[in-house]
Amino acid sequence: MQTQSAIFDEIAKLMTEAAGAADGVRREAETVFKGKLQSLLADMELVTRDEFEAVREMARAAREENEALKARLDALENR
């Protein structure tokens, strides 16, 4: 009976070590993947959210100005 207990203990120890090794491989793969993804995104020259919002606000202001100028032009043409 003592022999079976030692065998089960050894199997449990091996399983624990295998799970730890698998977790280490998973963490290493995540690190590599994150590095590659960050590199890819940096190469794409994407704009930041702040830059996007600034340009969107400029476009909104320009559109409003164009509409006001068009209304003014229409009023002048109708005279």
Q: What is the pLDDT of residues 15-74, one digit of tens each?
A: 998 888 998 999 999 999 999 998 998 889 888 999 999 999 999 999 999 999 999 999
Write the pLDDT tens digit of every residue in 44-61. 988 899 999 999 999 999
Residue 21 Rama label (left phi>0; alpha psi -120 to 50; beta): alpha
pTM of the full predicted structure? 0.47
- Considering the domain architecture, whether residues 41 and 51 belong to the same structural domain is answered as no
- Considering the domain architecture, whether residues 38 and 57 belong to the same structural domain is answered as no
- Considering the domain architecture, whether residues 79 and 62 belong to the same structural domain is answered as yes
Residue-range definition of the domain harbouring residue 26? 1-45
- Considering the domain architecture, whether residues 74 and 51 belong to the same structural domain is answered as yes
Question: Considering its fold, how many domains does the chain have in total?
Answer: 2
**CB neighbours of 47 closer than 8 A, spacing ≥ 6?**
55
- Considering the domain architecture, whether residues 34 and 51 belong to the same structural domain is answered as no
- Considering the domain architecture, whether residues 19 and 37 belong to the same structural domain is answered as yes
